[in-house]
Chain A
């Protein structure tokens, strides 16, 4: 007869539980929402999480001015209506916004270049928090610097609010391509890699040794169609963020559901063809030569 000793231990805020939530979001779609109603539509469509914010990046781009953390009341109204994880954005380096978001019980904080940076030299020391952080990156060096500060997930920055996937593709290819090269490098070359990437040597060595990035890598910034989501997944992203692409389109609910299907069945062109049909107009989108501010250049 087995006599059971019952555990009463609870170690919270560990890197294991932070990275663990990132693992749970894999293969899913995280959708930007600005109202409780949109949050409901996103959950109904199969989003694995929502990002609560006051304006989607396309509107932040249009309105200009300083973009800050959302009003706690707005975030709470979204937490009330959905059962999936709720994420929210803090400005780069604004650790007090992050403290407030943690106090609100937000499930993941995005230290985001879409908001106006609060510090031009320092990112948030993410080890000081129990809540996990996701950070954007344009290349492997940036991604590893964010890991060294405690990020539990990395996403490509792409170029948010443009409906144009080209920058997200560039960033993903850069990050994943360099990971592939590092896994082939010999030990002497790793010093040069760390120097060129301006990344901590131990992280570069760990990458070479294990052959894998220490946290999940998701794609964000300009995805607007089911095909865009499947492209990101086939390139090697492990999940996708869709911001303006859903609620700036003609039929958000249908498009949201189609993007969820495309992210799961990303290798099956027949399913992709089926779910891409009759979704109404996507967001208009803008070319990179038409934009005044590149958000991807924010952060260091």
Chain B
């Protein structure tokens, strides 16, 4: 799947790091900032960053509705950290006006692991990967509840941290920060 045209939501956050990993894997990567950008891509990566900021920019750009429509029809998305929060069914500790897509049947709690001094790195065993995956958790959200359709691909301290439902993959950590492209490759292979 070397020539998949993949968008990276570039409203705010670590979009450049995702774009770099995807390009290295041979994907044709486009930054997505307005609804017209979505028409040019067949899949999307939603990066980490501040979910409150992204939620507002999704709204003002018109991307919230445009992306929401696609998600209903099985549009493939890989969401990390804030991206996972935006994909979730419900968000604990968000702002009252914060919207999420409800594209994956999980409930997440924002900043559940603490402040920045509690941010950490850990090696994870991931379903389908032979060797541990280096994960970086930055003021990470925790998945506190998940529905029967959601498959857990990795656990950390008893909590699911990498999950999949249909065409959606979501991670509470940052696979784009370590230079290890295996999870991005997993996403590209699923397209």
Decide if B57 touches A26 in the complex (CB within 8 Å). Answer: no
Decide if A131 touches B156 in the complex (CB within 8 Å). Answer: no
Decide if A260 touches B157 in the complex (CB within 8 Å). Answer: no
Is the C-beta of B152 less than 8 angstroms from some C-beta in chain A?
Answer: yes
Is the C-beta of A188 less than 8 angstroms from some C-beta in chain B?
Answer: no
Q: Which of B46-61 contact A (CB under 8 A)?
A: 48-50, 52-53, 56-57, 60-61
CA distance A19 to B156 in the complex (A): 22
Chain A hits for B72, CB < 8 A:
none
CA distance A108 to B17 in the complex (A): 21
Decide if A7 touches B122 in the complex (CB within 8 Å). Answer: yes
Given contacts A7-B125, A7-B156, is CB(A23)–CB(B119) below 8 Å? no
CA distance A12 to B57 in the complex (A): 31
CB distance from B60 to the nearest CB of A (A): 6
Q: Which of A65-101 contact B (CB under 8 A)?
A: 83-85
Decide if B50 touches A28 in the complex (CB within 8 Å). Answer: yes
Chain A hits for B177, CB < 8 A:
16, 19-20, 23
Is the C-beta of B116 less than 8 angstroms from some C-beta in chain A?
Answer: yes
Which of B6-14, B22-30, B100-108, B164-172 lies at the interface with chain A? B6-14
Chain A hits for B93, CB < 8 A:
83
Of all chain A residues, the one with the shortest Cβ separation from B177 is: A20
Decide if A84 touches B50 in the complex (CB within 8 Å). Answer: yes
Q: Of A7, A27, A238, A261, which one neighbours B123 at CB under 8 angstroms?
A: A7
Q: Of B57, B94, B136, B178, which one neighbours A260 at CB under 8 angstroms?
A: B57
Chain B hits for A43, CB < 8 A:
52, 95
Decide if A85 touches B116 in the complex (CB within 8 Å). Answer: yes
Of all chain A residues, the one with the shortest Cβ separation from B152 is: A4
Question: 27 A-B Cβ contacts within 8 A?
Answer: A4-B155, A6-B157, A7-B125, A11-B120, A11-B122, A12-B119, A17-B120, A17-B137, A20-B119, A21-B116, A21-B119, A21-B138, A23-B14, A24-B49, A24-B50, A26-B14, A27-B15, A27-B49, A83-B111, A85-B50, A102-B117, A105-B116, A106-B116, A107-B116, A260-B53, A263-B12, A264-B11
Q: B residues bordering A, Cβ < 8 Å?
A: 10-17, 33-34, 48-50, 52-53, 56-57, 60-61, 81-82, 93-95, 110-111, 115-125, 127-128, 132, 136-139, 152, 154-158, 174, 177-178
